[in-house]
Amino acid sequence: MLPTRSTTPFEKCIAQAFGEDSSLYTFRGDLISDLPLVDGLPYLNNLESEHPYNLDHPVTPAAIVFPRDAQQVSAAVMCARKYGIAVSSRSGGHSYTNAGLGGMDGALSIDYQNMKAFSYDPQDQTMTFESGSRLADLDRNLAPTGRVAAYGAVGSIGTGGHFTIGGLGALSRLLGLAADQIVSAECVLADGTVATVSADKNTDLFFAIKGAAWSFASVTSFKVATSPAPSSVISFQYNITFSRIADLADSFSQWQELVSQPDLTRKFASTLTLAQDLLVYSGTFFGDRSDFDRLNLEGLLPHGQEHLDITVVSSVVTHAITDLIKFGYDIFGSLPAHFYAKSLKFTRQTLFSSSAVQELFQYLDTIDKGTLVWFIVWDLNGGAISDIPQDGTAYWHRDALFFQQGYVVNEIGPVTQQSRDFLTGLTDEIHRLQPRIDDSAYPGYVDAELENPLRAYWGGNVERLIQIKGEYDPDDVFRNGQSVAR
């Protein structure tokens, strides 16, 4: 007979707060994730709620709770505060550092999987949803209304994190960030208070949750503005295969020239993805085919270069907005994986010269990546995102023209040092080629190895966020390894 594990005062507090209903909480030592994953086959373990998303950043929380309402969230937060336990919230569980499980050992993870209520108000045309909702839930629930909102295309992403770190998506250039559309939110504060934040109530906290919520509160629900659905949507994808990355330098330079045009239509969303032997040029245009054709995207493609082993396969599809989710891609899905990622911000003042692009792509040809599973994504920003001042919300990167995200993946074990050195070296090479690029990073692409994560994520808003932290969470209840502290 196995010995009975002793219960800590914190665990007793949690159990009492949830009426001794053990289906609503689990403690360290009882976690399924304490068992080893099937070697190399994590998908054989149905552990989405407990296993870390990034297996290269193992985390063991003190407890995971699965509340059914804001009052249970409040009770859990008060237990954590009483016993000095850090609190993190988990909506979809896609944090690169597993921040939803605490980002470090010994935290309380509030998992919102039981809170997915949704409603739509036809009077003010807003939607209200709880933080356990995924982006696919919003797609499905909004479809009958003929309305849309700007957020990402990966349906498994959780709304709680996505809407509070910024939230980039195909409609962002047209409508703004996901965070920009928040009308109000219900939050549980560090003292257990359930509060509403909006432009009129708790305005400092409203500023903070639009880009930095994980340091300030646990958001239980959102009220979000919607917009009329575009009448025509065109999704495009050009798959370019090659032998030498350097042969694609001109295509990148032409893409950079296109997206940096001051009068570029906001109806245009675009992403470049470079991987082993493949460049994918994809995106969405929210307009009719004649306007799309005037962009002349075909002119950016390296047609007629078969002698360089370059081939181009094109796909341009006109469809309804409700089909847009089908054209999204999820790099890892919800499966645990070993990976590492780094990001950089490019502005109109830090673009590459043509010669710098050539050097960069030659560098990518020669550097040892340590894995065959690597990719670099350049994702267009700007448009409506830049309409709001940088100090208008906690989200700082209003000046971003595009972000670069580099990824390395090991399918059978921890990411090798060689692969990590590849991404670090790539960042160093970019800084050499364009010294004006700073160390800014999108808060959704968290990087545990950043020297100054607060400045990288929140730039010139850090000082105000520290002040707000002192007002709403002076005891640093909501914390992880990269959170705002007093």
CA distances (Å), origin 194, targets 123, 173, 290? 26, 33, 51
- β-strands 278-285, 233-241 pairing: antiparallel
Give ranges for CATH 3.30.465.10 in the chain. Answer: 118-229+459-472
Percent residues over pLDDT 90 in the chain: 83
Give ranges for CATH 3.30.43.10 in the chain. Answer: 9-111
Q: Does residue 37 or residue 225 have the better pLDDT?
A: 225
Q: State pLDDT tens for residues 345-361.
A: 999 999 999 999 999 99
Q: State pLDDT tens for residues 164-211.
A: 999 999 999 999 999 999 999 999 999 999 999 999 999 999 999 999
- pLDDT score of 52: 85
- Considering the domain 233-457 in this protein, what is its CATH number? 3.40.462.20
Q: What is the mean pLDDT of the chain?
A: 91
Residue among 414, 320, 315, 307 nearest 371 (CA): 414
Evaluate if residue 427 carries a pLDDT over 50.
yes
Model confidence at 44, pLDDT cuts 50, 70, 90, reads: very low
Model confidence at 336, pLDDT cuts 50, 70, 90, reads: confident
Q: Does residue 220 or residue 41 have the better pLDDT?
A: 220
Percent residues over pLDDT 70 in the chain: 89
- pLDDT score of 46: 33
Q: How far apart are CA 433 and CA 277, in angstroms?
A: 24
- pLDDT score of 474: 98
Evaluate if residue 305 carries a pLDDT over 70.
no
Residue written as token pair 């470049």: 272
C-beta of residue 53 within 8 angstroms of C-beta of residue 94: yes
Long-range contacts of 130-138 (CB under 8 A, 24+ apart): 130/220, 130/221, 131/89, 131/91, 131/158, 131/159, 131/160, 131/219, 131/220, 131/221, 131/222, 132/91, 132/158, 132/160, 133/91, 133/158, 133/159, 134/92, 134/158, 134/159, 135/159, 135/162, 136/325
- The full 3-state SS of 387-421, as one line of letters, equals HCCCCCCCCCCCCCCEEEEEEEEECCCCCCHHHHH
Evaluate if residue 303 carries a pLDDT over 50.
yes
Residue written as token pair 């159990």: 15
Q: Does residue 114 or residue 28 have the better pLDDT?
A: 114
Give ranges for CATH 3.40.462.20 in the chain. Answer: 233-457
Evaluate if residue 31 carries a pLDDT over 90.
no
**Range 118-229+459-472 classified under CATH 3.40.50.300:** no
pLDDT (average), residues 216-220: 99
Q: What's the residue count for the chain?
A: 486
CA distances (Å), origin 471, targets 73, 89, 125, 464, 475? 21, 20, 33, 11, 10
pLDDT (average), residues 85-104: 96
Q: How far apart are CA 352 and CA 209, in angstroms?
A: 33
Model confidence at 34, pLDDT cuts 50, 70, 90, reads: very low
b/e code 415-429 from CB counts within 10 Å (16+ = b): bbeebbbbbeebbeb
* Topology, domain 9-111: 3.30.43
- pLDDT score of 411: 87
Evaluate if residue 234 carries a pLDDT over 70.
yes
